[in-house]
Structure 1
Amino acid sequence: MSQTNPNHSHTESNLYEVKPQKPMPVVVYEPESRLRHPLQLFQEMWADLLSSRDLAWQLLKRDIQAQYRQSLLGIIWAFIPPLVTAAGLTFLREAKILNLGETSIPYPVFVIFSMTLWQTFTQTLNSMMGASRTAKAILTKLKVPPEAFVISKIGQIIFNFAIQLIPVVFFFIWFKIPVTWSLLLAPVAFIHLLMLAVGVGLLIGPLSCLYGDVSKFMTYIIQGWLFITPVIYPMPSQGFWRILLKLNPVTPLLVTTRDLATTGEVSQVLGFWIASVIAIISLLLGWIFYRLAMPFIVERA
């Protein structure tokens, strides 16, 4: 006759006993803009900017290697465009086909240096739009600071600009352009020119990820922008065209960089400071817009 173990039955009852579970925490999402807490937003932006240095360096090396890989001429392609443009415009000017006015320095030096500055500006603007598209592709798979893509593009622009300065230095020596102490201040004006390009590019970049027409439209905008900037001709002394050029924020930044690097006489002091303020504000607004817009771009992707 078998005996029933009371402990065994008690154990079996415990196996089927349903224990009460703790209530799950409730997460409430509110449509509150992050701009309502600007200090916290800027702290996050600054922290991500510092933490993105290593990734930006890796992206920079990859982009530079990819840029000149499978190329016979290599870095020569960096300064061929301004050289060809300068040679063509100089020929047209000397042949009296184009009347481009008198410049304070030899025209070949004037146009090659101006074209180098202008192409750096436009390349920076286009690179910022490219940074948004690159960030869109990677942020859908990895969670990394979006600032890394911007820093890598800026590094690539500075690298290309350093290469493009090689023929400019050669022209300075060939035409015996005097070097003054103001040359040390030229990088300050040049940085402001880059800041304006970065700010505008970051404002347009997220939009170009949503609408392909934005990039095509900017191509025509940049082409027309060249003609209202004193790149291939000097600043006119009077008239409506002078007023139009002075309203262009690129004009005082580019002209001041050129003046400081050549003659040392700054012709647009007030315009430079106004354009510098515009550049700083554009950079700040562009960074904020890029930071806030990219999560929505990634979500739509």
Structure 2
Amino acid sequence: MNKQNNKDTNITIYSSEPLLRHPKKLFLGMYRDLLISKELAWRLFIRNISAMYRQTFLGYIWAFLPPIVTTLVFTFLNSQKIFHVGETNIPYPAYILLGTLLWQVFVDAMNSPLRSFNQSRSMLAKANFPRESLLLAGLAEVIFNFFIRLVLLFFVIIYYDIKISMLILYAPLGIISLLCLGMVFGLLLLPVGALYRDIEKGLYIITSAWFFVTPVVYPAPTKWPASIICDFNPVTPLLDFARNAFTGIKSFETEKIILINFIMIIFLLLSWILYRIAMPHIIERMSA
């Protein structure tokens, strides 16, 4: 469904003509809706964060528990030689914690579009509002949770006396890259996941398996055939880039990271277009 705005009268005209036939209007509409989504996105973000932590006994402690538990478990397994990873460039507990925090950014971003959609199903069926507000609210949740967990990382850095260099200025680029990659996967899965709950349930299984084939708690393998898994894993170069930037290790190719981000921006734009086109049909199916 295509809609056009009359600037003089503020009337929205709906048309059954496909959006892709008028790419200029499509992109202008995307840009306009993104700008006017900010206020509603903020309100949705506050609502979702309040609902997430209000009805829990431990509150914000839940944000710290997953990385802490993961760090303790793998540190114990490594100390007992059950899961031996060899040498890492920083103390192993800090290595696990940092890797887990970065991995969680990707996973949270991937789950964000579908989670935001499910949280606002009733509102989507009753009111017409810029759908981009759901995406912005979800992104704000991911960033908020990351900054809460980042406090834990700073304590670990101080405890292990990890030296911070100017390379840490590259870290935000790595974090944003993981965020965007997660959003690409999340937006691509949303049209199907909104209609079938199997996707939401399956994502937990997929990300659990994906965790173990991504160098989150171990250095990326360099020997074949294990190395080939990391080579075809899109998360690997971005996670390693962000972790190395945090720890001051210059072992990444800047040109490769720029190329990956350029390709990812294209896919992010395409997945956003898919989201715009699919949402009216999804809401129509929900209301039927």
* C-alpha separation in 2, matches of 1:268 and 1:236: 17
Q: 1:29 to 1:175 in 2, by over 3 A?
A: closer
Residues matched between the structures, number = 274
- What TM-score do you get using the length of structure 1 for normalisation? 0.86
State the match for 1:15 in structure 2: none
1:74 equivalent among 54, 59, 68 = 59
**Greater CA drift, 38-47 or 65-74:** 65-74
2:84 maps to a residue whose letter is: N
1:109-258 aligned within 5 A: 109-258=94-243
1:34 equivalent among 19, 40, 45 = 19
Confirm or deny that 1:100 pairs with 2:85: yes
Q: 1:241 to 1:274 in 2, by over 3 A?
A: farther
* C-alpha separation in 1, matches of 2:237 and 2:173: 13
Contact 1:252 / 1:268 at 8 angstroms: preserved in 2? no
State the match for 1:24 in structure 2: none
State the match for 1:9 in structure 2: none
**How large is the Cα RMSD of the aligned pairs?**
1.8
* C-alpha separation in 2, matches of 1:56 and 1:255: 31
Question: Tell me, what secondary structure is at the counterpart of 1:79?
Answer: helix
Question: Tell me, what secondary structure is at the counterpart of 1:210?
Answer: coil
* C-alpha separation in 2, matches of 1:192 and 1:131: 20
Contact 2:72 / 2:93 at 8 angstroms: preserved in 1? yes
The answer for unaligned runs of 5 or more in structure 2 is 1-12
Q: CA deviation digits over 1:125-173, x for unaligned, max 9?
A: 1121112334543221001000001101111111110001111111111
Q: CA deviation digits over 1:150-199, x for unaligned, max 9?
A: 10111111111000111111111111110101111200111011001111
State the match for 2:273 in structure 1: 288
Q: CA deviation digits over 1:231-268, x for unaligned, max 9?
A: 01101122121122021111111110000010231335
Larger radius of gyration: 1
Q: 1:66 to 1:296 in 2, by over 3 A?
A: same
State the match for 1:297 in structure 2: 282
2:73 maps to a residue whose letter is: G
Q: 1:234 to 1:268 in 2, by over 3 A?
A: farther
* C-alpha separation in 2, matches of 1:50 and 1:220: 36
The answer for unaligned runs of 5 or more in structure 1 is 1-26
Q: CA deviation digits over 1:88-141, x for unaligned, max 9?
A: 101110111111221111100100010111112111211211123345432210
State the match for 2:264 in structure 1: 279
Q: Percent identity?
A: 41
**Greater CA drift, 259-268 or 243-252:** 259-268
* C-alpha separation in 1, matches of 2:253 and 2:70: 26
1:50 equivalent among 25, 35, 42 = 35
* C-alpha separation in 1, matches of 2:198 and 2:52: 25
4+ long deviations beyond 6 Å:
none
